[in-house]
Chain A
Amino acid sequence: MDLTTLSIDAIHAGLLARQFSAEELVRATLERIERENKAIRAYLTLSPERALAQALEIDRKVRAQEPLPPLAGVPVAVKDVLSTKGVRTTCASRILERYIPPYDATAVERLEAAGASILGKTNCDEFAMGSSTENSGFFPTHNPRDLTRVPGGSSGGSAAAVAANLAAAALGSDTGGSIRQPAALTGVVGMMGTYGRVSRYGLVAFASSLDHVGPFGRTVSDVARVLGVIAGRDARDSTSADVPVPDYLVALEADVRGLKVGVPDEYFNGLSPEIGDNIQKGLDLMARLGMKVEPIRMLHTDYAIACYYIICTAEASSNLARYDGVRYGFRESGADDLREMYKKTRDHGFGAEVKRRIMLGTYVLSSGYYDAYYRKAQKVRALITRDFLEAFDKVDILVTPTSPVPAFKLGERMDDPLQMYLADIYTVTASLAGVPGISVPCGVTRSSPHLPVGMQILAKHFDEARLLRVAHAFEKAGGFQVS
């Protein structure tokens, strides 16, 4: 039996039946990482001692016939923007190369409390800024489906790890699509809950009004299990919502017949057939499952990229002001005074994309431009949110492509930031509105090399259960392999 390809459900059953131990499971995954990570480069740091210590504790529970927690023995990867006590957390930035957090992020703490083994920290675009993982300050990650291509981003390492069976599940962060887009490009499931659904305590901040923590998995039910563990109010994050967390596993099995699926025209205008044809087949399948598919309008979609990049860069320029060479490990030497130390440290510590975003954010917040850019964007954000609220008065869920393109070649898009930003068009809207979204595999492109296509499903605030239910029904009906 290949232990590294098991679903969480199968892991749980296997441990209970004593077909294998948690230690064997973690060792098998670490061995696979040893063999295959050299080509994929999903991980920045491994934490084998921590993973094995947890596995031994799970095996003790099995022997003592104690009840097993929901993620017992599950080997998981964590994006390197989530703090891990005693394990280096770099945000894939040189400026945090030596930073070792003194505490765990709540999502990490909850995973371990639920029995998961943390294998290590995954690569990403520096400070989660990017859509390809090429902006990592260390090295790019390669897409396991085609090693000459990017895995998407910014959570490209987590997506690649799950796609290549180098972890059973993973945590990522999503600010404008950073979980959903790499999930689509690597052919796995990735989910962002409602804004406030999962605590951000210990998530290194990029854009605070948009940042989310969420799961990757190979199946919808795996994602539902991880979300159920990490979701819920956390007193240490005042933006985490005090809304009860339903049992997502029970919700998976509910009927989907009669649900209304809205298909927003604006997400399909100009979409290439290599993506559009697959999404249409996915929608046909949903209709066969008894859902009512109907067109809908989302009039402000076209303004989302401009709105998103004003707000996220403004917040980033403020959040990243803290990296000044004083507290987090790295300081460039040779400065005579404080201001020079800030400048030298930041110039040597940050990569090009982070600098660009800090510059953009500083500009849109600067005197004379604040109203024209930042305040204007906040107003347009309200209009985009209104589009969603009105849509969900008419339909239960929305279905769109996740990304307008499949995985592209490494290096292909690095020189044109605006083109890279424009490709985020289908994911930033839900981020701005704060509604939950999931990306599920929806076949592969017709032309060789047959790259994964992702379908995005969106629901209203705190309606994750319905989102997962539809995604699960789609998966069971063979939607992941539509052709």
Chain B
Amino acid sequence: MALSEKDVRYVAALAHLELTEEEVKKFLPQLDAVLEHMQKLNQLDTSQVEPMAQVIYPAAGTPTLRPDEPRQTLSQQESLANAPEPGAGCFKVPRVIERE
């Protein structure tokens, strides 16, 4: 197995996921099996291939950008309507600055 429990916890922290012990134990072999399958791509020589980030097709025109003009968008009230904790026209969150 190439992946360790430590790796799983490290990746979870990067992804802002708080995994339980059971989850770490369950995910480890599952993620390891998928990552091992992904190694299959190394069988291919891609040294002369350009990476493809988006679908390209022969008929593709230039990407279209709209004119940079101000427009009406969602109101503050609409934007905040789904907030778990709105207040004073803002999204309220717990303390951000960490104490030493």
Contact = CB atoms under 8 A, between A and B. Distances in A.
Interface string A338-356: 1111111011001010011
Nearest to A381: B52
Interface residues of A, number: 77
Interface in A352-384: 352, 355-356, 358-360, 362-364, 366, 373, 375-383
Contact of A102 (B15, B42, B78): B78
B82 A328 contact: yes
A100 B16 contact: no
A344 to B, nearest CB: 6
Given A355-B23, A359-B17, A376-B46, A337 B94 contact: yes
A39 B46 CA distance: 50
A81 B98 CA distance: 36
| Majority-rule SS of A interface residues | helix
B88 interface: no
Nearest to B42: A376
Interface stretch (A45-53, A224-232, A319-327): A319-327
Given A102-B79, A376-B46, A338 B95 contact: yes
A66 interface: no
B27 A356 contact: yes
Given A235-B66, A339-B16, A385 B94 contact: no
Interface in B32-75: 33-35, 37-44, 46, 49-61, 63-66, 74
B15 A317 contact: yes
Contact of B46 (A359, A379, A461): A379
Contacts of A306: 37-41
Nearest to A323: B16
A305 B46 CA distance: 17
A461 B59 CA distance: 8
A209 interface: yes
Given A377-B41, A383-B44, A434-B57, A324 B16 contact: yes
A437 to B, nearest CB: 13
Contacts of A346: 15-18
Nearest to A365: B14
A433 B94 contact: no
B52 A385 contact: yes
B19 A379 contact: no
A64 interface: no
A255 interface: no
B93 interface: yes
A355 B55 CA distance: 27
A461 B57 contact: yes
Contacts of A209: 53-55
Contacts of A359: 8, 11-12, 15, 17, 27, 31
B57 A418 contact: no
B50 A382 contact: yes
Contacts of B83: 326-327
A358 B18 CA distance: 12
Contact of A303 (B18, B41, B84, B94): B41
A373 B11 CA distance: 15
A310 B46 CA distance: 16
Interface in A242-296: 242-243
Given A306-B41, A376-B41, A462-B59, A358 B53 contact: no
A335 B84 CA distance: 14
A331 interface: yes
A194 B82 contact: no
A100 B81 contact: yes
Given A338-B95, A347-B19, A355-B23, A196 B55 contact: yes
A417 interface: yes
A243 B91 contact: no
Contact of A342 (B16, B49, B55, B59): B16
Contacts of B66: 235, 238
A382 B11 contact: no
A416 B7 CA distance: 20
A338 B93 contact: yes
Given A326-B91, A382-B52, A383-B44, A98 B82 contact: yes
Nearest to B66: A235
Given A321-B16, A356-B30, 4 more contacts: A241-B59, A241-B60, A360-B35, A462-B57
30 contacts: A100-B81, A209-B53, A241-B60, A305-B37, A326-B83, A326-B84, A326-B91, A326-B93, A331-B84, A335-B94, A336-B94, A336-B95, A338-B93, A340-B18, A341-B94, A346-B15, A346-B17, A352-B23, A355-B19, A360-B35, A362-B15, A363-B11, A375-B51, A378-B53, A382-B50, A385-B52, A418-B33, A418-B34, A461-B55, A461-B59
